[in-house]
Structure 1
Amino acid sequence: MAQPATPLFRALVGVPVCLALLALVSASLLSLAPAASPAPPVRATGALLPLLVTRGKAPAAALLARDETGTRYAQAGEGVSGADHFRAGSITKTFIATVVLQLATERRLSLSDTVEQHLPGLVRGAGNDGRALTLRSLLTHTSGLYDFTARTRGIVPVTPLQAVRIALTHPPAAHGSHVYSNTNYVLLGLVIERVTGRSYAAEAERRIIAPLGLTGTSFPGSRTSLPAPHGRAYTSDGTDVTELDPRVAGAAGELVTTLADLDRFYAALLGGRLLPPHRLREMLDTRAAHGSYGMGLFPSKLPCGTVVWGHNGRIAGSYVRSAATVGGRRVLTFRVNTTAIADLGLEPRLLAAEFCPRSL
């Protein structure tokens, strides 16, 4: 776009000789000036976000993206803000997996340890046997353990032991198959407590939340209210579930956080600030889960060939998705204040709009 004319330029209009001289001077100056920096790539995430409301049937949506050019925030609908606290559901699993891998780095446990070694006698029944299950199989969802939330529907508060007992009334899936189960991470929460003498929440606070300055992130335990500020949360049928007992998910999905904190966490994790290189590589290794899941993270290959890593989270009244590039230089988190997005095709479109190069 042309720059608006200056008063000096307007004064010279109609004086051809002066214009010619001005053009010559301008050309000389431009030849000496450094080249302008290229404009940042155009992102369509802000334009796509309203579709989460109109087609995704969410009351409201918000996103926060970070890269080398800065931070971008967008929202659609009423009732959310960039500073809101919200429930992050299964994004909790990335925090739990990070703590377990830190403990493995410290040699306080091994991923090859059996569940039985840390929780003797707990996993027995209906063909399930903790002596045959490793911590690695819990992290990668290849243990075959039944998902207790299939029975509780994610709305019945239970203790960790109650969650495990529910799972153990069902036979396991085929050994080595990848079957996503919240029971795996409830057990990992118990392992963290057994190894450290502190709860998984206390360990995550000490190892991740405090060092990274995630001031909006917490493990609420049984507290049903959200910290201020926060909006309202709704199920898919419009029921208000802002007040919720987090024990419906426990170590598999208890976390409360903010957009900015999740961006900071995933940028730090993928940037190598929380794990040494060999442990981060192990976290991103998807071979055990046949390419679909690492340890508390899963990959998404976008149409342009870029692969991003992160997790999603669904809990009553909230759906969240975080993704980042390896190295952590680009990261995006978006959320809606309802349980699910009606149009499942919108999520990959948002990721592609953010992480795939676009021409100006």
Structure 2
Amino acid sequence: MGAASLLGPGTTAEAMGAAGGDVRSRLQRDADAVRDTGATGLTVLARDAAGSETQARSGTASLKDGGRVPFDAYYRIGSDTKTFTAVAALQLVGEGTLRLDDTVEQWLPGVVAGNGNDGSRITLRNLLQHTSGLANYTDIAFEDPAELTPERFHAQRFRSQTPEEQVAAAMERAPGWLPDADDPGAETQWAYSNTNYVLLGMVIEKATGNPWAQEVHDRIIEPLGLRRTLIPDTSPYVPMPTATAYTQFPGRDDLTDTTLAVGGGADGGIISTTRDMNTFLRALMGGRLLPPEQLQQMRTTVPAPGYAADGRTRYGLGLAWRPAEGCGSGIWYHGGTSFGTASETAVTPDGRVSAAAAVFTTRFGDEKRFLEQAEAAVRLLDRAVCGDRKRG
């Protein structure tokens, strides 16, 4: 029996918030629409220009034990971590410790080399913007179908790799391209690679003498009072309250509990909540975390083919932009997917309106349903931030 039939059309969901009933009911309808694609459960929080919050949740916290998804559930934010890492790096740029034109070779001699890889041709801007051409170490790790099975997941879920091991795996492959030797930072060819942000974490550590996690905590988490945002390092546990994170593996119809797993590092290792994610994004776009020059650099984008289904997304430095009907200037976001959890975010360019959601289901074995869920989640966030004009 699939997840959708287990939940059924009668699954109750509840919204709460200080905003008007129309806003609450719309958010609830859109949350239910994500559930109806087969997501086991989700929670979403939107904050308007006046600071009023509206929350909704849908589905179940556990297919085994039932219960409602906690409004304040902790969850792995996956690649939304990259925005935190980018902010820490750009603060160091603003302080003069780093320069966007610095090469990887300057900071990490000999690390990016072999099989055509050349750290002297890759700048920190290239890493931040995914214009480096470097192979994605996670693609390499899971390119063998035998690696994506419930049995393999359970056997390896408590194991971790060092950043050096992850980069070394990427160096076994030739790069997709090498940025121009005369002006590598001007490269606009784009391809997503987690390797870029693993290297950024290593550069931050080399430049400061501190782990990237300490720099992110001291520069972002603590100053913003994000008391429910944490960096678990090699711990596989997510704090309570949370919901069970489910994954559909290739070749299977059932869902596997993948809640316990070692997460990533500077590329995807943070755990947070929807409220903390709203606070972070609003502070960032509102100018509280970066000087104007560095925030402008962060919002300097290149086309990002393949990043989203609409083909219109552009990528900056650890932050992406997409057009959204009802928001004339579009919205800024990133998003992150990990085993069993999809993190979705959206914030207006001025930082006044935002939303964040956690969906506790990912599907590696059913591309059609994966896309349906992702598209419904995007609609949920766009409508929460930009209003109801998308209904047409």
TM (norm. structure 2) is 0.77
SS of corresponding position for 1:151: helix
Contact 1:141 1:289 in 2 (8 A): no
Which runs of no fewer than 5 residues in structure 2 stay unpaired? 1-19, 62-68, 143-147, 179-186, 249-253, 306-312, 364-369
1:25 match: none
Task: Identify which of 280, 286, 298 aligns with 1:265.
Answer: 280
Which has the greater radius of gyration? 1
Contact 1:306 1:356 in 2 (8 A): no
1:51, distance to aligned residue in structure 2 (A): 1.5
The 1:309/1:40 distance shift into structure 2, 3 A limit, reads farther
2:293 match: 278
Task: Identify which of 377, 381, 385 aligns with 1:351.
Answer: 381
- In the alignment, structure 1 residue 136 sits paired with structure 2 residue 125: yes
1:230 match: 242
Identity %: 40
TM (norm. structure 1) is 0.84
Q: How far apart in 1 are the matches of 2:378 and 2:236? A: 32
1:289, distance to aligned residue in structure 2 (A): 5.8
Which runs of no fewer than 5 residues in structure 1 stay unpaired? 1-38
Contact 1:42 1:358 in 2 (8 A): no
- In the alignment, structure 1 residue 324 sits paired with structure 2 residue 352: no
Task: Summarize the alignment of residues 1-360 of structure 1 with structure 2, pairs less than 5 Å apart.
Answer: 42=23, 44-55=26-37, 57-69=38-50, 70-79=52-61, 80-153=69-142, 157-175=160-178, 176=187, 177-236=189-248, 237-246=254-263, 249-287=264-302, 292-304=314-326, 305-340=328-363, 341-343=370-372, 344-358=374-388
1:293, distance to aligned residue in structure 2 (A): 0.3
Q: Which amino acid aligns with 1:100?
A: A
Per-residue CA distance 1:123-165 (angstroms, 9 max, x = gap): 0011000011100000000000000001223966321011101
**Superposition RMSD in Å:** 2.0
The 1:48/1:288 distance shift into structure 2, 3 A limit, reads closer
Q: How far apart in 1 are the matches of 2:190 and 2:106? A: 23
Contact 1:306 1:355 in 2 (8 A): no
Q: Write out the 4+ residue segments of structure 1 that deviate beyond 6 Å after TM superposition.
A: none
Contact 2:46 2:385 in 1 (8 A): no
Contact 1:142 1:289 in 2 (8 A): no
1:342, distance to aligned residue in structure 2 (A): 4.6
Q: How far apart in 2 are the matches of 1:58 and 1:289? A: 27
Q: How far apart in 2 are the matches of 1:221 and 1:231? A: 20
Q: How far apart in 2 are the matches of 1:137 and 1:114? A: 9
How many corresponding residue pairs? 319
Per-residue CA distance 1:178-207 (angstroms, 9 max, x = gap): 000000000000000000000010000000
